[in-house]
Structure formats: structure tokens, C-alpha cells
Amino acid sequence: MPVSQNSARLNLPYLQPSQAQKHVTHNEALRQLDLIVQLSVASINATTPPAVPDQGEIHALGANPTGDWAGQGGMLAAWLDNAWHFVAPDTGWRAWDESSNQMKLWDGGTWIDPPVATQNLNGVGIATGSDATNRLSVRSPATLLSHEGAGHQLKINKASTGDTASLLFQSNWTGHAEMGLAGSTGFSIKVSPDGGSWTDALSLDPATGTASGAAIQSSADDTTTGRLMRADYGYGPGNLLGTVSENSGTPSGAVIERGTTPTGDYVRFADGTQICTATLPATDCTAVEGALFASDPAVWDFPVAFAAGSNVAISGSGGGSTRFTGFDAPTETQVTVRVLASASDATALAPTVTAIGRWF
């Protein structure tokens, strides 16, 4: 079996027994070692030879180089002693790309970035250092997380209900605001003046969605400046008109309730005020009542009852300029009305009446 005259890996020429001018073979091997050991190239995927190359300058050629490099695609081209010398890279060779200041790897067909393991890393620091707690650390003006053609979610997961999954906002490494799931499954926002004492500004119940916290009105008479008004404590377009109600003397429904029954109209207010009005059947004033003339007595049933013990005030108009109304003492549900006049008047006119009191 013939003995190879070149090394198996780097194709370096061997010195042969009884070889003349052994220094030529030796120097050729040294020259190849000088080129490929600690390989550094001026460019990657080069196609056009430089006009004035430096001694020892090396280029990693692209697939279709031109000029003096024609037909040498994929080779390493080294300028030595005023001529280009070509060396074929082997799979796995590494070269420092001087043009991009990056390490490159020959994979048998092209120069690629060396593969980097990205699974189960102990930590990653981008422009800063990571540590055991902050295993991913980034120092930059901004951090971009973008979609891949559709939506995008940022997920913060915790092990159990009592743990925390949140975003913490700091100033000079002191926490001043935090939002997320802090010790529960309810979303909350906390604020702090010094990073030590914290106030729950807003908490949302995960089952009902109702809000609580220092930023929310705590009771119907809580008028603290800057607090958000609760729907069940305050009033707005959605509950200004509707059914009024109360709970132990505290309004709990709409602000104004208006209604009509067969015996008149009524208005109820959230503070408990109630006003009833009606136009009674027309009547004359022909019956003698002492020095006056009067209508027959009529009982006005209030459209809605007043509260028990309520002090009901009654007023009315007799229906004409010469008439006036008189009333017996009212109850919570009705009052007796008579129209009076100073002279007999057979004209049938309709009196109007008003009752004011409280519904609670």
C-alpha cells in the first residue's frame, strides 16, 4: 500500500526519504500552516480581487468569483509573493471575518454564524449582566416584542395563587408602581412613595369584576378628592331617572322617579322628597258654607302613599280667580278637598291639588 505524501487533514506535504531540497517541501507546509492556523480573512463571500492586496491577505471566496479568482468558488485566496494561492477549507473550519468582526464557520458549502445553544441557559445579559434572580437582563432605550403575522401575548405565569405575577416599575432601582396578580388571582395596581410602603390603589375581583381600593369611593358619603365614584354610591346618566330606593336611609337607586296612577302624578327624589299632583273632577260652588259657597267634599287618594308619620303639606287652586281650596287634615294616603268661593258660582271648574312630603 503506497504511503501518502500529504497529511490527511490539512494536506500538508511530507518530507520524503532521500528527498532533494527538503527545505522546499518543509517551507510549503509551513506556509499552509501560516495561512490556516488562527485563520483570519479580510472578507467573506468575496467575488472581486482587490487591486493592491497586502502580503498574507486572505479572502473567503463566494460561489462565483471573477478575475484572478475565477473558478475558485468556495476557496480561501491568499496573496503570497505577488500571486494568489488557493486553499480549500474543510468542514468545521473557523475564520474571523475582519469586515464584520464576527466569527464564521465553514459548513461544507458556505460560511455561517457558529451555532449557539439557546435552551436552558443559566442567564442572558444583553448589554448588561444577568444574575440568579434576573436571569434575563436587557439594557437599552427600548425593548420590542412584535407579532409573527397575527397577535402577540406577553405571558407572566406564577406557580400558585399566593405567589406574585406582576410588572414592577422602578425609578433609580426603587419600586413605585406594580400591577398584576399580587398574592391572589385578582388584578391589582399598587403604588408606593418610597418602595417600602405600598397602597392598593385599584383591585378588581376576578369573579365579579367589581372594583375596590384607595382610588375608589368607599361609601356613599365619601367625597375624598380624586377618588372614582362607584355606580352604587354615585349617580350618572345610567341611573339618574328610574326607580328610587333606599337602604337604612341611604339612597340606593335612581335619583328621580316619576309616575302616573289613576288618581294623579307623582315625583320621588333620592333624598326622600315626594310630590303628588292631580287635577280633580270639575265642580261648582253653590252649596252654602257659612258666609261662603262651597263644592261638595271630594276625597283625593294620593297617587302613591307618603311615609308613615310624614308631615304632608297640601296646596291647590280652585280652578278660577274667585275660588280657593280648603283641606281637612291629610293622612299618608288621602285628603278631603273642598272648593270655596265668596259668591255662588254654578260654573263647573276643575281644581288642581299638590301634596308634598316624604316617601321614606
At CA 113, angle to CA 110 and CA 116, rounded to 5?
A: 135
Q: Indicate left, alpha or beta for 51 from its phi (over 0: left) and psi (-120 to 50: alpha).
A: alpha
Q: Which three cell numbers stand for residue 306?
A: 307618603
Query: Dihedral, CA atoms, 136, 139, 143, 145, nearest 10 degrees?
Result: -20
What size, in residues, is the chain?
360
pLDDT higher than 90, residue 238: no
Answer yes or no: is pLDDT of 213 > 70. Answer: yes
Cα separation, 208 vs 201, whole angstroms: 18
Confidence of residue 1 (pLDDT cuts 50, 70, 90): very low
Instruction: Determine what percent of the chain falls in helix, strand and coil, rounding each to the nearest 5.
Output: 5, 40, 55
CB 61 within 8 A of CB 49: no
Asked if residue 32 lies in contact with residue 12, where contact means CB atoms within 8 angstroms, the answer is yes
3-state secondary structure (DSSP) of residue 50: coil
The per-residue pLDDT for range 157-187, each reduced to its tens digit, is: 999 999 999 999 999 999 999 999 999 999 9
pLDDT of residue 9: 58
Region 116-143: what's the mean pLDDT? 94
pTM, two decimals, is: 0.52
**φ, ψ (nearest 5 deg) of residue 175:** -75, 135
Cell numbers linked to 262: 289613576
**Confidence band (pLDDT; 50, 70, 90) for 218?**
confident
Q: Is pLDDT above 80 for 312? A: yes
Q: 201: exposed, middle or buried (C-beta count within 10 Å: 0-12, 13-18, 19+)?
A: middle
For cell 255662588, the residue is 344
Q: What is the pLDDT of residues 275-295, one digit of tens each?
A: 999 999 999 999 998 899 999
Domains and CATH numbers, the chain: 38-112 (no CATH), 184-234 (no CATH), 257-358 (2.60.40.3940)
pLDDT of residue 188: 97
Model pLDDT for residues 70-86, shown as the tens digit of each residue? 999 999 999 988 999 99
| Res. 30: pLDDT tops 70 | no
Residues β-bridged to residue 177:
169, 191
The per-residue pLDDT of the chain, averaged, comes to 91
CA 77 to chain centre: 57
Measuring CA to CA, which residue among 79, 87, 69 is closest to residue 6? 87
The Cα–Cα gap between 57 and 131 comes to 42
Distance of CA 60 to the CA centre of its chain: 51
**pLDDT over 90 at 252, yes or no:** no
